[in-house]
Amino acid sequence: MTDKIAFITGATSGFGRAAARRFAEAGWSLVLTGRRTERLEALQGELGVPTHIVTLDVRDADAVKQAVAELPEPFRAVTCLVNNAGLALAPEKAQDVDLADWHTMIDTNCTGLVNVTHALINSLIAIGQGASIVNIGSVAGSWPYPGSHVYGATKAFVRQFSLSLRCDLLGTGVRVTDIEPGMAETEFTLVRTKGNQAASDALYGSTTPLTAEDIAEQIFYVATLPAHININRLEIMPTRQAWAGFAVDRD
């Protein structure tokens, strides 16, 4: 074991899995959670550092509390919480969306993040200087686009919650960062379109999106800065992505 422990939610794919690998490269011990046990076990087997895995749905507050309460002693002093678990669903217009998809996004991206943060916040305060909470937001929280509806709203929540948490944690030494990626090629679009590989290929094709490893590097960066530095909000886009103009309805 080392004196550095990262607790990463949604570690079975994308940014979470890449972050686990990046922290492991630096010798951190890890607590990894996700809903797919076989993926957690495979990741645990490859990392080469002390790793505790928990099959967990962050939407279940009681399960989150239990997972944290039952952490083995060597994994209790969490130094960095990476709130990565989240998803986008329903790229259709709001008027065409299944309400259940909206609820799933709210329950995962907002309630799940709050559940995990609340369960670990006092442990992080006990660590004090150098402890970090890294929340994964999105450019969708600042820049609306057609089909972003509740997904964008949940990421705006992540941004505001992160900033407000900074206020409450002032004086504790615990840092809070909202990392807001733009276009990044992961399983994101496959999940959003419920397995439509063609839609995923069309979104990321003929351009150069960010990778999961790009975002993992930034997560690691903000978590390992000198203890007196806090990056409040980090918005990251690929060079080949920018903003479009206003949409206008014309006759």
CA distances to 68, 89, 166 from 194, rounded to whole Å, are 31, 8, 35
Query: Looking at 145, 151, 204, 221, which residue is catalytic?
Result: 151
Tokens representing 116 are 């995990």
Q: Is 145 tagged catalytic?
A: no
The side-by-side arrangement of strands in the sheet containing 233-236 is 51-55, 29-34, 5-8, 80-83, 132-136, 175-181, 233-236
CB 149 within 8 A of CB 94: yes
Alpha helices by DSSP H, listed for the chain, are 14-25, 37-47, 61-69, 99-105, 113-127, 149-169, 188-192, 197-204, 212-223
Distance of CA 241 to the CA centre of its chain: 21
Catalytic residues: 151
